[in-house]
């Protein structure tokens, strides 16, 4: 059976020593009083809930799955899931970073991110039920009417109700411009929604008395394509003016998907048969409102793979220290045993360090991004808010795609450490691999994220936002460029930072001549950008570790940081050289292949 220990020390290192979040909070009036002791105490309790309540249900929930009653359209979740959610709500976790105006605790987003990392390590399928509610909350908070906010936000904040996002339809996935769900205006200002949705995570369950669906649909006179999409809030049960529940809305779960992983989460097929909803935001501008939810979800999906990478690493490391097999190539290491622990073998260490490095880089990036979100929402300086928002927009596709791709590499590597035992269910490793696999697909496939990064976020503004991140890299290079002990961490990002402008310009110029050039280069480009971002994070972590060691701190934690950073730059970061070469190979070898793909 797998185990899980919340990585509190590493979170505290990134929060307090690398990014000094409490100093940042002092400049944000809503969070000025949040201190390190508060953060640490909250995260310690969050870790107890994740490890003690959610984690024990992970394997059993995967085995049992969800059950749909075809007559009532009700879904029963795995044993213990509903009770765990009740504990989650009772503990106030749903309200952690929500607006105090709606009953939230108003704590920084960065704390909610750390909570959800631990929950995703513990049980991704269970965590998706409350996790989807945050996106619905954010969309309504940003674009809802005063009446909608009054009706729905207090219940979503408390966790009394949960939320979903209903986008995908049977005939279209990412291309939302093709959706057919209809919204007919009614005399009372409401809308009658009719259509079918699929792949709706947490679309039906027995946790709460109501589920708040956010549904994309078309008005009768809507223009074709994505410019004709509107967003509606369609509750499972209609809500009376006083907040009490009214009659059942005809929005039903008609089937559950049979999936590779996340079996404990109800991935629902939803039939909407004249359900009553209200418009969120302006007519035909539903994507603007939905993107608030989608971007929150994309950051959340990256966090799912961070969580799985961490728990897979922990278990693979423990197994590698215990499992004996063969002798070390450089001589016997465990003389009192028949064979050496497999952790002595170089490639086993490579697999373990790959997972460790990808977890620690992802954690730093996630905390960096959610700190930017806190600045974008709460900083009094408009320029700081704007710059932070732009950087989050740039980094969101990297968080979603780079971290989930790395999660695939890492969980597979950790399963490999177990050998044949990794392929067996009771060790838990194969579930981490299966559960992670969806993260590369939903909320926009990783190829779509790559096109978003290169086409919209970089070329779309002529690299202006990329240059802003480049300035952060340049500042660190200028600060540490003459420090010989930092050279192994600074030189690689300084080189790549210089190369990125030329690389981006070259791909962009080709793309103006032939748009397929952007499509051919995008996935490789995102991975190069991901390594630049991770390299910056590891250089900052190494900077702190070296300073602590120079000051006489003998805590082995800091040596471990340096060793992980050295591994990352020596064994993982050099991938950028191959990626830039393959990106430059162009589209012809892909598109001039009709004979090969006949």
* Location of structure tokens 């200002």: 189
Pairing of strands 211-217, 162-166: parallel
pLDDT band at 175 (very low <50, low <70, confident <90, very high): confident
pLDDT band at 519 (very low <50, low <70, confident <90, very high): very high
Residue 174 has a pLDDT of 82
Q: Is 284 left (phi over 0), alpha (psi -120 to 50) or beta?
A: left
Q: Is 59 left (phi over 0), alpha (psi -120 to 50) or beta?
A: alpha
DSSP 271: E
**For residues 166 and 294, is the Cβ–Cβ distance under 8 A?**
no
Q: 211-237 pLDDT, tens per residue?
A: 999 999 999 999 999 899 999 999 999
pLDDT at residue 543 is higher than 80: yes
What share of the chain has pLDDT > 90, as a percent? Answer: 96
SS3 per residue for 521-551:
HHHHHHHHHHHHHHHHHHHHHHHHHHHHHHC
**Rounded CA gap, 519 and 324, in Å?**
47
Query: What average pLDDT does range 43-68 have in this prediction?
Result: 98
Close Cβ partners of 311 (under 8 Å, ≥ 6 residues apart): 2, 4, 121, 122, 432
| Whether residue 430 lies in the annotated active site | no
Distances (CA, A) of 450 to 22, 513, 522: 33, 19, 5
3-state helix, strand, coil in the chain (%, to 5): 65, 10, 25
Q: 424-478 pLDDT, tens per residue?
A: 999 999 999 999 999 999 999 999 999 999 999 999 999 999 999 999 999 999 9
Query: What average pLDDT does range 193-204 have in this prediction?
Result: 98
197 vs 297, residue with greater confidence: 197
Torsion angles phi and psi, residue 69, rounded to 5? -90, 110
CA geometry: angle at 555 spanning 554 and 560, to 5°?
Answer: 110
**Rounded CA gap, 548 and 551, in Å?**
5
DSSP letters spanning 116-172: HHHHHHHHHHHHHHHHHHHHHHHHHHHH--HHHHHHHHHHHHHTSSEEEEE--BTTB
Q: Is 10 left (phi over 0), alpha (psi -120 to 50) or beta?
A: alpha
- Count of residues making up the chain: 598
pLDDT band at 292 (very low <50, low <70, confident <90, very high): confident
Selected catalytic residue, list 24, 310, 443, 517:
443
Query: What average pLDDT does range 510-539 have in this prediction?
Result: 97
- Own/partner long-range contacts of 490-499 (Cβ < 8 Å, ≥24 apart): 490/539, 492/535, 492/569, 492/573, 493/532, 493/535, 493/536, 493/539, 496/528, 496/531, 496/532, 496/535, 496/576, 497/470, 497/473, 497/532, 499/580
CA geometry: angle at 201 spanning 129 and 189, to 5°?
Answer: 95
Mean pLDDT for the chain overall:
97
CA atoms within 13 A on the CB side of 29: 2
pLDDT band at 87 (very low <50, low <70, confident <90, very high): very high
237 token code pair? 């049960």
Which is nearest to 11 in space by CA: 47, 51, 64?
A: 47
CB 563: neighbour CB atoms within 10 A?
Answer: 14
**Rounded CA gap, 324 and 533, in Å?**
37
Residue 295 has a pLDDT of 85
pLDDT band at 586 (very low <50, low <70, confident <90, very high): very high
pLDDT band at 176 (very low <50, low <70, confident <90, very high): confident
DSSP 582: H
**Rounded CA gap, 189 and 185, in Å?**
7
Torsion angle of alpha carbons 326, 331, 333, 335, nearest 10°?
Answer: 80
Longest dimension (CA), the chain: 84
pLDDT at residue 287 is higher than 90: no
Q: 356-381 pLDDT, tens per residue?
A: 999 999 999 999 999 999 999 999 99
Residue 520 has a pLDDT of 98
CB 551: neighbour CB atoms within 10 A?
Answer: 8
327 token code pair? 């002798």
**Rounded CA gap, 207 and 160, in Å?**
9
DSSP letters spanning 483-502: -GGGHHHHHHHHHHHHHHHH
DSSP letters spanning 414-451: HHHHTGGGGGSGGGSHHHHHHHHHGGGTSSS-HHHHHH
Distances (CA, A) of 50 to 93, 311, 436, 443: 11, 12, 18, 24
34 token code pair? 């949040």
Q: Can you list the positions of beta strands (E) in 35-99?
A: 67-69, 74-76
- Give the chain's domains with CATH numbers: 8-147 (1.10.540.10), 163-284 (2.40.110.20), 445-593 (1.20.120)
Residue 294 has a pLDDT of 81
CA geometry: angle at 227 spanning 285 and 199, to 5°?
Answer: 80
- Rounded to two decimals, the pTM is 0.98
What share of the chain has pLDDT > 70, as a percent? Answer: 100
């Amino acid at each position: 059976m797998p185990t899980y220990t919340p990585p509190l020390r590493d979170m505290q290192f990134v929060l307090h020593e690398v990014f000094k979040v409490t100093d940042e909070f002092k400049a944000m009036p809503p969070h000025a009083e949040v201190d390190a002791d508060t953060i640490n105490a909250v995260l310690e309790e969050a870790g107890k809930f994740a490890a003690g309540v959610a984690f024990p249900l992970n394997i059993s929930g995967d085995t049992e799955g969800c059950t749909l009653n075809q007559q009532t359209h009700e879904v029963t979740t795995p044993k213990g899931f509903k009770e765990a959610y009740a504990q989650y709500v009772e503990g106030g976790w749903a309200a952690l970073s929500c607006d105090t105006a709606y009953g939230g605790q108003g704590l920084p987003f960065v704390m909610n991110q750390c909570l959800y990392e631990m929950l995703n390590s513990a049980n991704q399928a269970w965590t998706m039920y409350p996790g989807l509610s945050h996106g619905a909350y954010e969309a309504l908070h940003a674009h809802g009417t005063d009446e909608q906010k009054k009706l729905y936000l207090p219940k979503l904040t408390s966790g009394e109700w949960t939320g979903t996002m209903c986008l995908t339809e049977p005939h279209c996935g990412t291309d939302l411009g093709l959706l057919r769900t209809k919204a007919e205006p009614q005399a009372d200002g409401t809308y009658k929604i009719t259509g079918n949705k699929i792949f709706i995570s947490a679309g039906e369950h027995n946790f709460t008395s109501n589920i708040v669906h956010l549904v994309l649909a078309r008005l009768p006179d809507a223009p074709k394509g994505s410019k004709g999409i509107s967003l509606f809030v369609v509750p499972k049960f209609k809500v009376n003016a006083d907040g009490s529940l009214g009659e059942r809305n005809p929005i039903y779960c008609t089937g559950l998907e049979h999936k590779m992983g996340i079996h404990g989460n109800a991935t629902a097929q939803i039939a909407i048969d004249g359900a009553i909803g209200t418009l969120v935001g302006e007519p035909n501008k539903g994507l603007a409102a939905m993107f608030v939810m989608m971007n929150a979800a994309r950051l959340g999906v990256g966090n799912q793979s961070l969580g799985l990478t961490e728990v897979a690493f922990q278990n693979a490391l423990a197994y590698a220290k215990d499992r004996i097999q063969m002798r070390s190539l450089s001589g016997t290491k465990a003389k009192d045993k028949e064979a050496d622990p497999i952790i002595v073998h170089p490639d086993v260490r490579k697999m373990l360090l790959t997972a460790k490095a990808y977890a620690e880089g992802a954690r730093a990036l996630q905390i960096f991004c959610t700190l930017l979100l806190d600045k974008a929402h709460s900083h009094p300086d408009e320029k700081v808010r704007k710059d932070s928002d732009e950087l989050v927009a740039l980094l969101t596709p990297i968080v979603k795609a780079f971290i989930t791709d790395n999660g695939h590499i890492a969980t597979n590597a950790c399963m490999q450490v177990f050998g044949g035992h990794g392929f067996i269910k009771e060790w838990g490793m194969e579930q981490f691999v299966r559960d992670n696999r969806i993260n590369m697909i939903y909320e926009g496939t990783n190829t779509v994220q790559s096109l978003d990064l290169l086409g919209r976020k970089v070329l779309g503004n002529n690299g202006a936002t990329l240059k802003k991140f480049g300035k952060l890299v340049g500042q660190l290079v200028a600060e540490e460029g003459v420090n010989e002990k930092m050279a192994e961490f600074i030189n690689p990002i300084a080189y790549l930072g210089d190369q990125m402008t030329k690389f981006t310009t070259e791909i962009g110029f080709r793309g103006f001549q032939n748009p397929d050039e952007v499509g051919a280069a995008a996935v490789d480009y995102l991975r190069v950008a991901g390594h630049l971002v991770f390299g910056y994070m590891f250089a900052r972590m190494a900077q702190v570790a070296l300073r602590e060691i120079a000051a006489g701190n003998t805590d082995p934690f800091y040596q471990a940081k340096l060793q992980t950073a050295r591994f990352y730059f020596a064994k993982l970061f050099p991938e950028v050289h191959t990626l830039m070469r393959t990106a430059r190979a162009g589209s012809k070898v892909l598109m001039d292949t009709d004979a090969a793909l006949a």
